[in-house]
Amino acid sequence: SQQGEEDPQALSIQEGENATMNCSYKTSINNLQWYRQNSGRGLVHLILIRSNEREKHSGRLRVTLDTSKKSSSLLITASRAADTASYFCSTQGGSEKLVFGKGTKLTVNP
Amino acid sequence: DAGITQSPRHKVTETGTPVTLRCHQTENHRYMYWYRQDPGHGLRLIHYSYGVKDTDKGEVSDGYSVSRSKTEDFLLTLESATSSQTSVYFCAISEASMGHNQPQHFGDGTRLSIL
């Protein structure tokens, strides 16, 4: 299976701090995506990084990808209470299907 | 937000009854997906569709069937619901034009309880 596994399972930080979440996977991929899920809502796409890319930025988000280690990290800088959510990585190999990890639950305390 | 509507949003039913969940999109996207989300398991793919009348199985398809008679609608049916199918069900859509680099857009889910 090429399922992504997020680490840590839960993370609690203070507003203004940076939050880093990691994702590891097992097989070769075309791309890796990060999603956010607020409580009671569907997943929202944050960022997609292709297998030939090493780093990508979007606002306060920074994603890195290391295909040699089969891992990715999501950094949220200057976190806000509104960033409180669960974050999922998903990998996509040779088909249209995404395979999701179990998520990291981030709590940002005001 | 992508135009995805799931109905119903909540349902409570009894074991053995048939249940149909509906996903409606207004984006004219080719691909549609049904997932279930359970504590400790994350998001798991049930079935997906790559066009009208074109569907395929996902990771946890047993006990579920799907139909897509129109681009905008994707139905998920539990023929005879069991308590193990109590879950939150999410529909997602994605475009085909980007090939394999496809973000998915999710509905807000249907919370299904089977007693």
B40 CB neighbours in chain A (<8 A) are 102
* Residue A93, number of CB atoms within 10 A of its CB: 16
Rg (CA), chain A: 13
Under the banding of pLDDT at 50, 70 and 90, the label for residue A1 is very low
Which residue in A37, A75, A40 sits closest to A56, CA to CA?
A75
For A5, the closest chain B residue by CA position comes to: B42
- Please check whether residue A42 is in contact with residue A2, taking contact to mean a CB–CB distance below 8 angstroms: no
A63 — contact with chain B (CB < 8 Å)?
A: no
A94 — contact with chain B (CB < 8 Å)?
A: yes
**Residue pLDDT, tens place only, A15-68:** 999 999 999 998 888 889 999 999 999 999 999 999 999 999 999 999 999 999
**pLDDT of A97:** 72
Q: What is the mean pLDDT of residues B41-52?
A: 91
State both tokens at A38. Answer: 């607020």
Is A96 in Cβ contact with B48 (below 8 Å)?
yes
User: CA B97 to CA B111: how far, in whole Å?
Assistant: 31
B45 CB neighbours in chain A (<8 A) are 97-99
Q: What is the mean pLDDT of residues A8-17?
A: 96
Our CA-based measurement puts residue B109 at a distance from the nearest CA of chain A, in whole angstroms, of 6
**Residue pLDDT, tens place only, A90-108:** 988 766 677 888 899 999 9
Q: Return the number of CB contacts < 8 Å for A and B.
A: 57
Please state, rounded to an integer, the average pLDDT across all residues of chain B. 92
Nearest Cβ partner of B107 from A42, A45, A96? A42
